Structure 1
Amino acid sequence: MLHNFVIVLMWILSVAVPSTNPGDTPQRQPVIETSSVKRFWRSMKLALSLRNQYDPKADDALIVPVYGKSGLGKTFAIRGFIDSISARTVTGLPQVITVVVKHRATPKGLVKQILHALGESPRGREYSDIVDEVIDAIQGHDISMFIFDEADRLDEETFECLRALVDETHRPMVLVGLPNILKIIRLHRKFKDRVAFGVPFEVLDTDEFLDVFLPKVVLPRWIYDASNDSDRAMGTFLWERTRPVLRRVRKVLNLASRIVLIDEEKSITQKHIEEALKKILTDDDEDDDENNVTEDEEERPGAHEDESNRRQDAKRKSRPNRKKRT
């Protein structure tokens, strides 16, 4: 009797609680080592080497801007670089500190952010007092370098704040953001002279997207073989509709993964990607990167302007010279 009861109970549980495939559990996405990410990591090592511990005042060009359009994976690249650094300071803090610049940051708010990133709270109220605390904390913890993400949010005042900290602490500072971060640097020699080198964060080409990026994506029911023609066709279909924004790729695949799980299908196919695209891609999504242009790009005439100028030139050349009336 008891045996039969146990069997019935197990059957009820198996129906009421569906079995969970370990592969269906969302996992943390490892940083995918694309060529852009590898170039970024190499540049960060170069930036770290700029610090001259033996003669700190020998060189004050310690600012490194890293610029690229939104959604290319800059923040992921930062995370991967930070994770790769095992070295700690004398007080146990990471050798490299990351700060995400807040919207409409003020100089006072920015130095407070830096202080909090160092595990400390401001004691003073005045901006100058907090700056002194930041300088003491950087030197006391022996921090090697700072990386400021979303650095395109910096304005002239907050940029001046970082320049002053560079001059006082002689630590390299990496500024990661959209291409318009270059505008403020170009406009002011005092900032431009502090730049050691710049790092463009480049867009993936199609082959690298298909051969390197997609095979490393970690999502439930995502099975991709770069050597399989149908998988490559699916990947090409996805890239043609999302390029160059990797964040958008992840967004589409994440929704497609959820659709597959709900429908209890084996793996993500192109039909699931098509459904996900229809649900999340709007005209606004397509245009969200158009404003992320550099100063040079803003001044450069577009294709329509070029064509119009050519037509006007042709008309002027073909127009006969009229004699002036006397």
Structure 2
Amino acid sequence: MLLKSEFQPKLIYSPEYNINFFGVEKLHPFDSCKYGRSWNELFAIYGKQLQSLHILPSRSISHHELSTVHTKSYLELLSSSRYLAQALEMPPLALCPSRLIDKHILNPMRLATMGTLIAAKSAIKNGIGINLSGGYHHASEANGEGFCIYSDIGIAIASLRMEGTIQETDQVVIIDLDAHQGNGLERIFLNDQNVKIFDVYNAEIYPNDGWAKRGIDLDIPLKSGTSDRKYIELLQEYLPSYLDSITPIRLAFYNAGTDIYCKDPLGKLDISAQGVLSRDILVFKTLLELKIPFVMVLSGGYTKDSYLLIANSIRYLIDNTSGIPAP
């Protein structure tokens, strides 16, 4: 068992995280219902015991909270169907009324953004906050792209600072292990010396944002086809020593994209299901051993197996920290 008495996980989830837009969401390879599938898988394992860990977001993130990161002109731009179709990578949306896109796609994202903020507050209080959504790491202050409209991690950090839960001088780390470079976060925190970004990604695929790479504190670009052994070796070599070198860390955000999986059509890496679990266990153990409070968000994952990969990793974390008897 890991540090049961010190780190207690909270699981933030709403059924309204799922994106259902008359089937239009199927135009994108992203499984927009993996949030609910992950919850259902975990509930099938733990039953009503899962409720003791659950927090239901009571509201979506507000316009004021969005404004802590995003520019006024960008938020106004989100009323344009043409812009949203481009940012969400679903061209037919350009023909849909923006109010419908807002209701069926953007509002679930705003709710999930609130979920990341709740997860961050839970991590500060309990040690671990898991949001069963979020990880919109391509969104920057004035731009949405790659199915990312709101910078949930950026907004969580800004909101915690504004309310005084964390100080401007506190060290915050973003561990981004999605298959894609987290260019939006790197742009947001480019000149912020107290937010460090550790990014391991496939350098041969989107977004290939050279300007944003200047915001990475420890940059580990990979080649397509990188397999379990090389991936885990790199993570073992760099992550523990990197985190240990930043003292003290007030909060870490773990962007746990499952698009590193070998069957993923977009990530182009060759990581097995066991490799995804091994990656997550390595991150969990490192953070727990260093006693760093952390938030886990789901980020990318474009296969029908994504929700199972997520549930397997969260199950490991629950079994080893929550006090709920393993089934």
TM-based fold match above 0.5: no
TM-score normalised according to structure 1 size? 0.29
TM-score normalised according to structure 2 size? 0.29
Greater per-residue strand proportion: 2
> Whose radius of gyration is greater, 1 or 2?
1
